[in-house]
């Protein structure tokens, strides 16, 4: 569950990124993340756990330093025992921002889940630290995580696998590489199981900057698909067999591009004029 802010504290932003963010020619998303963390003086903790590539963490460190941040540190978190190490906890405790790289979200959940690192990230986010994640890192941010699934636009019971995530918010379920990998069906399936959360489908090079008021702003070159299941009047999920198509009536869907906003609490979308 998300940690509750202390009296006088304002929760930091939660920033899921759809993957393949522009890193060289117009790194708008990463630059915005670093700006809200404090610009050149920001302290950024990079968590490369999702990736099996040794250079992923150092790559983002070089990139953040190129964008002007002098203090960007890669946390050596690869096994569960690493999540109890004092140096990593110290870095998170003093950071203005945490960045989770892409890779495999199950590596994140199985390594960080239930550890002191995960608990500290939730507490620090409640105290004002900003947390961003790209691709697998984005899927891991909410309480309910899409761990895997199949491509396609029509939902079916076997289309998605869900697992516990980091738990920074329980208001959304996030899917990434959304339009590029045809993932509408698996997001709809996840929402059909229990239509309480808002579905956020992130295109590549596109991010949702979710503020402490639960208002979401779109940043990047693609779009975000917002799926609001609160008005569902009929679902065949309880009757469908494993690979059957599922009928859903009453789903509301929005497509928002850069500058668009969505109020998660009131379920209201506005486009940038």
Active-site positions read 135, 177, 204
Neighbours of 225 (CB within 10 A): 19
Buried b (16+ CB within 10 A) or exposed e, 136-146: bbbbbbbbbbb
**Phi/psi of residue 116, nearest 5 degrees:** -65, -35
Question: How many whole angstroms from its chain centre is CA 257?
Answer: 17
Of residues 73, 25, 53, the one with CA closest to residue 135 = 53
Structure tokens at 252: 């509301």
Of residues 50, 52, 72, the one with CA closest to residue 60 = 72
Distance of alpha carbon 119 from alpha carbon 166, whole angstroms:
9
Of residues 167, 156, 139, 153, the one with CA closest to residue 253 = 153
Parallel, antiparallel or unpaired: strands 172-175 and 198-202? parallel
């Amino acid at each position: 569950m998300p940690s509750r802010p202390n009296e006088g504290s304002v929760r930091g932003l939660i920033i899921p990124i759809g993957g393949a963010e522009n890193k060289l020619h117009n790194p708008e998303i990463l630059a915005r993340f670093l700006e809200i963390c404090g610009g050149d003086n920001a302290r950024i903790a990079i968590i490369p756990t999702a990736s099996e590539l040794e250079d992923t963490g150092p790559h983002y460190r070089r990139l953040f330093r190129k964008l002007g941040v002098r203090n960007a540190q890669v946390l050596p978190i690869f096994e569960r025992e690493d999540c109890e190490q004092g140096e990593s906890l110290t870095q998170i405790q003093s950071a203005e921002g945490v960045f989770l790289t892409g890779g495999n979200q199950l590596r994140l959940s199985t390594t960080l889940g239930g550890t002191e690192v995960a608990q500290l990230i939730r507490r620090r986010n409640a105290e004002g630290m900003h947390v961003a994640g790209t691709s697998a890192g984005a899927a891991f941010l909410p309480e309910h995580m899409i761990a895997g699934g199949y491509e396609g636009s029509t939902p079916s019971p076997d289309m998605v696998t869900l697992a516990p995530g980091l738990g920074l918010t329980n208001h959304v379920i996030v899917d990434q590489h959304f339009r590029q990998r045809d993932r509408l069906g698996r997001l709809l399936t996840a929402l059909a199981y229990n239509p309480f959360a808002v579905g956020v489908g992130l295109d590549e090079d596109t991010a949702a900057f979710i503020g402490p008021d639960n208002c979401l702003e779109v940043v990047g070159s693609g779009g975000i698909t917002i799926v609001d299941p609160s008005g569902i009047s009929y679902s065949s999920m309880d009757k469908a067999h494993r690979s059957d198509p599922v009928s859903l009536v009453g789903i509301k869907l929005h497509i928002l591009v850069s500058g668009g906003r969505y109020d998660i609490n009131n379920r209201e979308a506005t486009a940038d004029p």
